[in-house]
Amino acid sequence: MKRKRASALGSLILVLALLGAIYSAYKVLQSPAFETNRPVIDMPAERFWNSHHPFHINISDDTGLKKVIAYLSNGKERVKIADVNFKKPPKTYTLQIKYPKIGFTDNSDNLLLTVVAQDISKWHFFKGNSSIKKERLKIDTRKPDLFSLITSYGITRGGSALAIFKATDKNLKELYVETNFGKKFEPTPFYKEGYYAVLLAWPIKQKRFRAKIVAKDAAGNVAKARLGFFLKSRKYRTSYLQAKDRFINGKISDLAEDEPELTANLSPTEKLKFINETYRIKNDNLIKTITSKVDHNRISSFDIHPFYPLKNGKVVGSFGDHRYYWYKEKTNIISESYHLGIDLASVRMDDIIISNPGVVVFANYNGIYGNNLIVYHGLGLYTVYGHCSTLLKQRGDIVEAGEVAAKTGATGLALGDHLHFSTMVHGFFVRPAEWMDHKWIQTNIIDVINNAKKMIDK
Ligand SMILES: [Zn+2]
């Protein structure tokens, strides 16, 4: 009886000891030293590579990395390109992949990259957790082929031009026309596979104009080709206008009520400066944003006709006019602005005719432009109609050539009934005179397109 009790006690102690051991082992294995998370290797399944520029792979582990190995294989040969053993285990590591200078006897355009990473965990009998990842590298060392087919002969400061070019690459990724003023003009696919057309603008405030086509492929190869234009500088008018009290207390004060918080504490002349500069920028930016969009569907023609928005419109304000406003004395300049359209006047509430087919992209109130209509005609060309009394179209409406889409008025910053007409190319205000000139359109747009088609068809 006594012995039995003693042996039961012994068993209990043994069980407790065992439980304790299991618990300790559990605690040890639960400790970070025995964690079971594998290192994370951040790489895609496939990538285009030009083999000249190294690329990077990020590797991380929650406890620390012990070892990183990388191989490149062309199917027949395998070259070790990295073998790193860390003395101080990092939690993150950036592995640089460079094409091996020696190793491959065969230039294959298909390589397999293998990356193995091991962490410092004591799991797996102190071997640690490891990850292995493979990536297909498609070698493409060929630059895109670029060829400028034809352009408008020249471009005028403040004006527009057309360029048609060819760009081909197996893996073309980015294509644009880069300019000296930072704008990237997006081309539109033109006529046949591999050809593109792009309207360009030389913004009036830029002293110089330079443009080059830039093509990048998925492997990072870049080709550039300069677009040559005969550059025509142009002088624009400077005018000095008297800011009369009647104007400030009338139109200016009315417009200031659009922005009550910003204008409440301004003096009358400060109000004029605010409307003519700050508010103008806001209204212009809305127009610029709306007219920056270019469609990417292939076009095979661009049959644009001269714009004559008013039947008997007389030009009463010119494009690019640098206007200074003086108050009480001619030397007291209180504000300045550029007039980025032309003003046309005829009879009150005259019909505004849209000379070319398009889509209405804006038909709403827009500050100094009053009731404002914007129509898109394709290839990045837009027309803008300001100060309207009535808008007869809505956003999304299609307009036919010759259709009446609005009536002239004096809404916004306008003194008498007139139309403010602007032409926009890729979000830039450009000279309407060019788009109202039959000869300019024929030489710079229509002939360029027709000649390009002939060259493509040859
Ligand atoms: Zn105007």
Dist. CA 349 → ligand 1 center (Å)? 16
Residues 61 and 186 in one domain: no
Model confidence pLDDT, tens digit, residues 195-224? 999 999 999 999 999 999 999 999 999 999
Dist. CA 445 → ligand 1 center (Å)? 26
Beta bridge partners of 383: 375, 423
Q: What tokens were used for 406?
A: 């609005």
Residues 308 and 344 in one domain: yes
pLDDT of the residue at 27: 67
Dist. CA 381 → ligand 1 center (Å)? 19
**Could you give the angle at the alpha carbon of 373 between the alpha carbons of 369 and 374, nearest 5°?**
110
Dist. CA 408 → ligand 1 center (Å)? 12
Q: Evaluate whether residue 76 is within a structural domain.
A: yes
Q: Is the pLDDT of residue 153 over 80?
A: yes
Dist. CA 54 → ligand 1 center (Å)? 54
Dist. CA 365 → ligand 1 center (Å)? 15
Q: Which of 139, 164, 188 is the last residue of a domain?
A: 139
Cβ atoms of 324 and 359 closer than 8 Å: no
Pair type for strands 188-189 and 230-232: unpaired
Cβ atoms of 432 and 423 closer than 8 Å: yes
Dist. CA 157 → ligand 1 center (Å)? 19
Dist. CA 251 → ligand 1 center (Å)? 14
Residues 411 and 304 in one domain: yes
Q: Tell me how far CA of residue 91 lies from CA of 130, 415, 434, in angstroms.
A: 14, 69, 62
Cβ atoms of 299 and 189 closer than 8 Å: yes
Dist. CA 229 → ligand 1 center (Å)? 30
The upper half-sphere exposure of residue 259, i.e. CA atoms within 13 Å in the direction of its Cβ, equals 19
Dist. CA 425 → ligand 1 center (Å)? 18
List CB contacts of 265: < 8 A, sequence separation 6 or more.
none
Q: In the block, which residue shows the tokens 């590579």?
A: 49
Residues 209 and 357 in one domain: no
Dist. CA 234 → ligand 1 center (Å)? 20
* Amino acid symbol at 202: W
Dist. CA 341 → ligand 1 center (Å)? 6
Residues 120 and 182 in one domain: no
Q: In the block, which residue shows the tokens 């005018």?
A: 239
CA distance 66 to 60: 11
Q: Evaluate whether residue 194 is within a structural domain.
A: yes
Dist. CA 218 → ligand 1 center (Å)? 46
Q: In the block, which residue shows the tokens 């009731």?
A: 371
Q: Evaluate whether residue 311 is within a structural domain.
A: yes
Q: What tokens were used for 271?
A: 């109000």
Dist. CA 46 → ligand 1 center (Å)? 55
User: Which of the pair, 25 or 424, is modelled with greater confidence?
Assistant: 424
Model confidence pLDDT, tens digit, residues 33-54? 667 788 999 999 999 998 888 9
CB crowding 259-279: b at 16 or more within 10 Å, else e: beeebeeeebbebbbbbbeeb
Q: Evaluate whether residue 161 is within a structural domain.
A: yes
Residues 393 and 346 in one domain: yes
Alpha helix positions (H), 123-278? 123-126, 245-247, 253-256, 260-263, 268-273
Q: Evaluate whether residue 200 is within a structural domain.
A: yes
Average of pLDDT values for 238-245? Answer: 95
Domain that holds residue 42: 33-139
Rounded to a whole number, what is the distance in angstroms from the first to the last CA of the chain?
114
Average of pLDDT values for 144-149? Answer: 96
Dist. CA 344 → ligand 1 center (Å)? 8
CA distance 295 to 345: 33
Dist. CA 147 → ligand 1 center (Å)? 40
The pTM score is 0.84
Dist. CA 161 → ligand 1 center (Å)? 23
CATH of the domain at 309: 2.70.70.10
Beta bridge partners of 387: none
Residues 91 and 168 in one domain: no
Q: Evaluate whether residue 298 is within a structural domain.
A: yes
Residues 276 and 413 in one domain: yes
Dist. CA 368 → ligand 1 center (Å)? 9
The upper half-sphere exposure of residue 362, i.e. CA atoms within 13 Å in the direction of its Cβ, equals 24
CATH of the domain at 207: 2.60.40.10
* Type and span of the H or E element at 177: strand 172-179
Dist. CA 223 → ligand 1 center (Å)? 42
Residues 227 and 270 in one domain: no
Model confidence pLDDT, tens digit, residues 270-329? 999 999 999 999 999 999 999 999 989 999 999 999 999 999 999 999 999 999 999 999
* Percent of the chain predicted with pLDDT > 90: 83
Residues with CB under 5 A from ligand 1 (ion): 317, 343, 420
SS3 406: strand
Dist. CA 424 → ligand 1 center (Å)? 14
Q: What tokens were used for 317?
A: 């304000």
* Percent of the chain predicted with pLDDT > 70: 96
Dist. CA 273 → ligand 1 center (Å)? 17
Q: In the block, which residue shows the tokens 């640098």?
A: 322
Q: Evaluate whether residue 457 is within a structural domain.
A: no
CA distance 351 to 362: 18
Mean of the per-residue pLDDT values of the chain: 93
Dist. CA 347 → ligand 1 center (Å)? 16
* Type and span of the H or E element at 20: helix 2-30
Cβ atoms of 241 and 203 closer than 8 Å: no
Dist. CA 321 → ligand 1 center (Å)? 10
CA distance 279 to 181: 24
| DSSP one-letter code for 432 | H
How many domains does the structure of the chain reveal?
A: 3
* Type and span of the H or E element at 42: strand 40-42
Q: Tell me how far CA of residue 87 lies from CA of 65, 120, 284, 428, 450, in angstroms.
A: 10, 11, 60, 58, 69
Average of pLDDT values for 159-178? Answer: 97
Beta bridge partners of 365: 371
Q: Evaluate whether residue 72 is within a structural domain.
A: yes
CATH of the domain at 40: 2.60.40.730
Q: What tokens were used for 8?
A: 């039961």
Residues 197 and 165 in one domain: yes
Dist. CA 282 → ligand 1 center (Å)? 16
List CB contacts of 33: < 8 A, sequence separation 6 or more.
63, 121, 122
Dist. CA 52 → ligand 1 center (Å)? 54
Residues 106 and 149 in one domain: no
Model confidence pLDDT, tens digit, residues 325-371? 999 999 999 999 999 999 999 999 999 999 999 999 999 999 999 99
Average of pLDDT values for 397-402? Answer: 97
Residues 80 and 135 in one domain: yes
Dist. CA 418 → ligand 1 center (Å)? 8
CA distance 55 to 49: 9
| DSSP one-letter code for 418 | B
Dist. CA 342 → ligand 1 center (Å)? 6
Dist. CA 187 → ligand 1 center (Å)? 30
